[in-house]
């Protein structure tokens, strides 16, 4: 009954906006570019609060302990870079999708090819892989908690999601995300409290003092063990965050994060939305999942114990990530219903965003740009709705062949290895061109396929994921830089137009600026020195603030009062300075 009521609520909220969303393609995909920061920020958080995220965190904690989460905590640096450096530029660009950026920044057929190919590459391949991973979580949760087959689990959740996504458009997605996020947080916290106090666990104190759990509690990895600190901390913090492209943590912003920045009322709301997203994503949400993951080590210490508890499950899906839904199976019926609704909410919020985002690529960057330039707004909305359904069908089929969440995370990370630096620099270095991006995309993909499937080891051994990442980053980065230097630059007119429109910091644009001044196509008062040093400072202060509150929560849970108090003070001071800098960065916008 509770689950049915939740499904009907989500469907009602999403469908409420059907009429307004169908009024134009801009309304269907960007809600008229008039959305407030708090709604957009919560929507981003809800999107990344996927049903597979607790499974992924559980997988990480059971394998590598709490400190293993640095493989994704490191992406906070990427997020804060987007907040203070790129959010304003994305909003100023005025593009419909982030792929339209390519023909704003680059010129000629290479730019057009890049836009069209990325629409297929990201809108279909990458997008479907992410949705399939989310659907895999639904399969495991439905199988463990409700005894459903994979097909039954996907039919129940996917049909509801695709209906309101196809009809309600982006505005329907945003407001449904708001409701779903509240329910998802309530469910995850309630589940953690109950699980900790189960007889098998014995309460928080017993959990933290259990020998099998105690060795996994450290927030920071063992700095004396290079085999631990290198893959879990040094590489994510020093290399991964800027070098790898991953959906939701794109260096320089992109994907559904860019979609929400483009839908904001103005630059201030774009900045506020991305800051709220990063603060909530990293500081607010992880600990309920971590606590359940730690408790699962006591109750299900091995894969064999998981298989024994759920003998009807296919052995191919029995992995560490299964431990999260396995722990939820102990919940009493009423609470189990609430938690199931919260997981369904998390599942739908992610899926609906990816459906609308992927559909925007298909419609704007493929169909409208290359197939039918004179298509009416009504026709574009119709194509958007049809492509939403098709994307859902493909993702459902792919989900049936995946086995665990960490597998997909590592594969997507590897495919994007080495492209991140390009996405950061393309706004600030005039010499980067369309061939640079094509080279980075092709090289990173081929290297990933080679390392993952063709030759995954050296000398008969299997390469570890962090070694594969380093190889991918090195080869791809060197490759695209060489291609950049040996291919023609973007046309001068396009470069000047981009600079005048976006107003990036002048560093990296001096050759273009000098030539533009000589040709009198650029006036001296149009040159923007920018506030890049101030923005970089704000980025690091934002990271300090969020990490401090993330650690403070953990130390309070561990009853380490001194460390927790220090983190709160540091986080508070960083936030205060950040608030002052924000006014200087935005200037008259505030």
Q: Please list the residues that pair with 244 across neighbouring strands.
A: 417
Of the listed ranges 157-166, 306-315, 526-535, 552-561, the one predicted with least confidence: 157-166
List the single range of 298-307, 336-345, 361-370, 458-467 with lowest mean pLDDT: 458-467
> Which pLDDT score, from 0 to 100, does residue 419 have?
87
The per-residue pLDDT of the chain, averaged, comes to 85
Mean pLDDT confidence for 523-536: 84
Cβ–Cβ < 8 Å for 476, 440: yes
Q: What tens digit of pLDDT does each residue of 23-67 get?
A: 566 677 777 788 899 999 998 888 887 766 888 899 999 999 999
pLDDT above 70 as % of the chain: 89
Question: Which among 56, 179, 157, 134 is positioned nearest to 350, based on CA atoms?
Answer: 134
- Note the pLDDT of residue 398: 78
The residue with tokens 């049909």 is: 159
- Torsion-angle region of 255 (φ positive above 0: left; ψ -120 to 50: alpha; else: beta): left
Of 140-154, 344-358, 439-453, 540-554, where does the model show the most confidence?
540-554
The rounded Cα 258 to chain-centroid distance in angstroms is 11
Residue 421 has pLDDT above 70, yes or no: yes
3-class secondary-structure state, position 417: strand
Among the residue ranges 85-89, 234-238, 385-389, 559-563, the one predicted with the least confidence is 385-389
Check whether 588 has a pLDDT greater than 50.
Answer: no
**Is-contact 263 30, C-beta < 8 A?**
yes
Give dist(CA 424, CA 113) in Å, integer: 21
CB 402 within 8 A of CB 408: yes
Please say whether the beta carbons of 253 and 15 come within 8 A. Answer: no
Residue 78 scores a pLDDT above 80:
yes
Q: For position 196, what pLDDT does the model report?
A: 95
User: CB of 41 within 8 A of CB of 273?
Assistant: yes
What confidence category does residue 575 fall into, taking pLDDT thresholds of 50, 70 and 90?
A: very high
Q: Is 212 exposed, middle or buried (0-12, 13-18, 19+ CB in 10 A)?
A: exposed
Write the DSSP symbol of residue 451. Answer: I
pLDDT for 127 equals 81
Q: Are 168 and 381 in contact (CB under 8 A)?
A: no
Q: Tens digits of per-residue pLDDT, 450-464?
A: 887 776 555 445 677
The C-alpha atoms of residue 45 and residue 374 are separated, in whole angstroms, by: 36
Question: What does the pLDDT look like over 173-200, one tens digit per residue?
Answer: 788 888 888 888 888 899 999 999 999 9
């Amino acid at each position: 009954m509770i689950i049915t009521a939740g499904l009907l609520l989500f469907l009602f909220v999403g469908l409420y906006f059907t009429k307004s969303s169908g009024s134009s393609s801009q309304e269907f995909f960007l809600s008229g570019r008039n959305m407030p920061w708090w709604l957009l920020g919560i929507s981003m958080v809800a999107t990344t609060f996927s049903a597979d995220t607790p499974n992924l965190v559980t997988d990480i904690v059971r394998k590598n302990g709490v400190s293993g989460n640095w493989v994704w905590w490191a992406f906070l640096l990427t997020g804060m870079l987007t907040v203070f450096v790129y959010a304003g530029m994305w909003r100023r660009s005025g593009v419909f999708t982030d792929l339209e950026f390519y023909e704003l920044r680059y010129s000629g057929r290479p730019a057009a090819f890049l836009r069209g190919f990325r629409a297929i590459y990201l809108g279909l391949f990458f997008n479907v892989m992410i949705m399939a991973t989310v659907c895999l979580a639904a399969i495991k949760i439905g199988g463990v908690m409700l005894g459903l087959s994979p097909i039954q689990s996907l039919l129940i959740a996917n049909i509801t999601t695709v209906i309101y996504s196809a009809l309600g458009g982006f505005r329907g997605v945003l407001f449904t995300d708001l409701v779903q996020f509240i329910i998802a947080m309530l469910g995850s916290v309630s589940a953690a409290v109950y699980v900790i106090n189960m007889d098998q666990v014995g309460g928080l104190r017993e959990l933290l003092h259990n020998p099998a759990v105690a060795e996994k509690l450290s927030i920071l990895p063992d700095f004396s063990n290079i085999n631990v600190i290198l893959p879990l901390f040094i590489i994510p913090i020093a290399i991964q965050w800027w070098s790898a492209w991953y959906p939701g943590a794109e260096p320089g912003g992109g994907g559904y994060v860019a979609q929400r920045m483009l839908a904001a009322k103005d630059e201030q709301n774009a900045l506020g939305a991305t800051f709220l997203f990063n603060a909530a994503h990293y500081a607010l949400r992880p600990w309920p999942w971590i606590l359940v993951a730690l408790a699962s080590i006591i109750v299900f210490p091995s894969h064999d114990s998981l298989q024994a508890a759920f003998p009807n499950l296919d052995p191919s899906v029995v992995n560490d990530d299964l431990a999260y839904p396995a722990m939820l199976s102990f919940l009493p019926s009423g609470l189990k219903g609430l938690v199931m609704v919260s997981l369904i909410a998390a599942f739908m919020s992610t899926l609906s965003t990816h459906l609308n985002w992927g559909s925007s690529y298909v419609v704007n960057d493929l169909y409208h740009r290359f197939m039918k330039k004179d298509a009416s707004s009504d026709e574009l909305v119709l194509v958007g709705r049809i492509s939403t359904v098709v994307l859902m069908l493909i993702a459902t089929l792919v989900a049936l062949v995946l086995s665990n969440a960490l597998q997909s995370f590592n594969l997507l990370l590897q495919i994007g290895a080495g492209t991140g630096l390009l996405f950061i620099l393309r706004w600030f270095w005039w010499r980067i061109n369309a061939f640079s991006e094509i080279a980075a995309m092709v090289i990173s993909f081929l290297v990933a396929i080679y390392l993952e499937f063709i030759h995954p080891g050296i000398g008969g051994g299997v390469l570890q994921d962090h070694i594969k990442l380093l190889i991918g980053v090195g080869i791809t980065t060197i490759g695209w830089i060489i291609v950049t230097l040996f291919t023609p630059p973007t046309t001068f007119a396009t470069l000047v137009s981009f600079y005048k429109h976006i107003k990036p910091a002048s560093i990296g644009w001096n050759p273009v600026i000098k030539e533009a001044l000589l040709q009198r196509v650029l006036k001296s008062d149009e040159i923007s020195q920018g506030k890049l040093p101030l923005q970089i400072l704000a980025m690091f202060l934002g990271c300090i603030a969020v990490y401090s509150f993330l650690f403070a929560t953990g130390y309070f849970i561990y009853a380490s009062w001194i460390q927790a108090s220090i983190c709160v003070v540091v986080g508070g001071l960083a936030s205060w300075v950040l608030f002052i800098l924000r006014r200087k960065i935005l200037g008259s916008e505030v």
